[in-house]
Amino acid sequence: MHPPKAGHYSTYSMIKKLIRKILGTKSNKGGRNSDEPVILGAADHGIDPRLLSANAVRVTSTLQEAGFEAFVVGGAVRDLLLGVKPKDFDIATNATPEQVRKLFRRAFIIGKRFQIVHVMFGQDLLEVTTFRGTASASAPKDEHGRVLRDNTFGSQAEDAVRRDFTINAMYYNPANEQVLDYHGGIEDIRAKTLRIIGQPEARYREDPVRMLRVVRFAAKLKFGIEPHTAAPIPVMAPLINNVPAARVFDEMLKLLMSGQALACLQQLRKEGLHHGLLPLLDVVLEQPLGIKFVTLALDATDARISAGKTVSPGFLFASLLWHQVLEKWTAYRAAGEFPIPALHLAADDVLDSQTEKLALQRKIGSDMRDIWSMQPRFERRSGKSPHKLLEHLRFRAGYDFLLLRCASGEIDAELGEWWTAFYEGDEATRDDLVNSAQRSGADGAPKKKRPPRRGPRTRGAAAAADSSGQGGQGGGE
C-alpha cells in the first residue's frame, strides 16, 4: 500500500484497522516494520511553525541545499505535535558525520557508541545524527546483550525502527511542513500512550537506560505505558546496574529536571526501578518528615522549571540525600563526635555510596557539601558569624535549604524567619537582630555556668568549648 497523501490520514487509519479486524491480527504498532511512512500535511498535524527554532530550520535547509535529506526528529517533533515549544532540536539526515561537519563553521563530531555531530550557533547547540541502519549482529555487546558500539548507517525507515518509542520516531520537514510517521506515533500521541518500538525485552537488553526513559516520558507527558512495554521492566530492572554510572547519572538528572520530578520518582518506585539508583530513597519516602522534605524540594524544583528559572543539580541531590546525611550525622554525634566533624563524616559516607552508582560530578558533590556544611552554621546568630555566613558564595542555596528544613517540620520555623529578616534587612536591622538573639539566648550557643578555673586551659578544652552548641535544631535531633 502506498503512503497516503496529506489530508487522507483518518481514512487510511480506518482502512488499516478494518484489515486487521478482518484478518484477525492484533494491532502491534511497536512491532510494525513499515518501509513506507504515513505522511501528514500541515492540516493534519497542526504544528505551529512559530514554535520551531530558527537555527533548526537553518541546519535542515543547509543540508537540503547541499543535496541531503534533513528533518527535525524525535522529542522535538513530539513536543511540536503537543503544542509545546521544544527545549532542544535534534536533526536526522542521510549525510555522514564528516559530510555534516564540512557544511558548518562550528561543528564537532563526538561519540563512540554512535557518532553524532554537534553544530553550534553561539550558545545554541543542535545535535545532528546520520540515519542509523539495522543493528549489526556483529556489533560489540557486553555479556548481558547491551550494545557497546554501533556506527552502522542506513535509510530513514531503518532509522525509525532503531528509535525507542513510537512518539519519538517521527520526522518533520520544515521546508514542506510534512510529518513522516512510520510506527503510528501520531495515534499514540492522541491516545496518550507510550509504546516501545519492537520487542520490549530485546530493546531493553540492547540499552537498559530505555527503562528509565519510559518512566521519565510517562511522568513528564502524563501518558499511560502500553502493557507490553511495561511488563518486562520489573524483571529486567537489574540490567541498569551494568550501564556506565555516567549514563545513569545523566538520565537521572533529566528525570529530576523534567518538570515532573516527584511524579518521576513515584513512577520509578511503581515500576521497581528505584533500587540502586538512590540507595535508601525508598526508606526516606516512607518516613513522614522524609517524604514531606523531598516533596517540598521537588515541588520547588518543578515550579522553577515551569517558570523558566535555572535549577542547581547540587541543590537537587543535596535535598534528595539529606535525610541519609541526617541519620548518619545523628549516629556519629551519638558516638561522641563533635557536630561539625560528625557532619563531614556523614557527608563522606553518603557521597561515597552514591558515587559508585551515579557518578556524581565533582562540582555537584562540592556544592552538596557546601549546602550541608552550612546548616549548623545557621544556628550561630551572635557576633560576626551571621555576617560572615552571608558572604558565603553558596549562601543562597544554603538558606533555601534551611527554609525547606523549616517548612518540613524538621527544625523550628523561627530560625528560618530570623534568617529571612537578616538576609532582607539593612545593616541596622541586622545589628538589632544579632543583639536580640544574644539577649534571648537564641544565638546557637547555650549559656552554661562556667566552672571555676583551676589551671591552664588545655587545647582540648578550648576545642570542646568552641564546638559546643553548634548542633541544636540543626543537628536534626
Residue positions annotated with a catalytic role: 88, 90, 164
**Residue-wise DSSP of 213-246:** HHHHHHHHHTPEEPHHHHTTHHHHGGGGGGS-HH
The values of phi and psi at residue 206, to 5°, are -60, -45
Burial of 329 (0-12, 13-18, 19+ CB in 10 A): buried
CA geometry: angle 27, 33, 35, nearest 5 deg: 125
Quickly count: other Cβ atoms within 10 Å of residue 330's Cβ: 16
Per-residue b or e along 125-134, where b marks 16 or more CB atoms closer than 10 Å to that residue's CB: ebbbbbbbbe
**Count of helices and strands (H, E) across the chain:** 23, 10
Q: 129: helix, coil or strand? A: strand
CA-CA distance, 93 to 68, in Å (whole number)?
7
Which residues are registered as beta bridge partners of 121?
A: 124
In angstroms, how far apart are the furthest CA atoms of the chain? Answer: 101
| Neighbour count for residue 11 (Cβ, 10 Å) | 10
Are the beta carbons of 429 and 421 closer than 8 angstroms?
A: yes
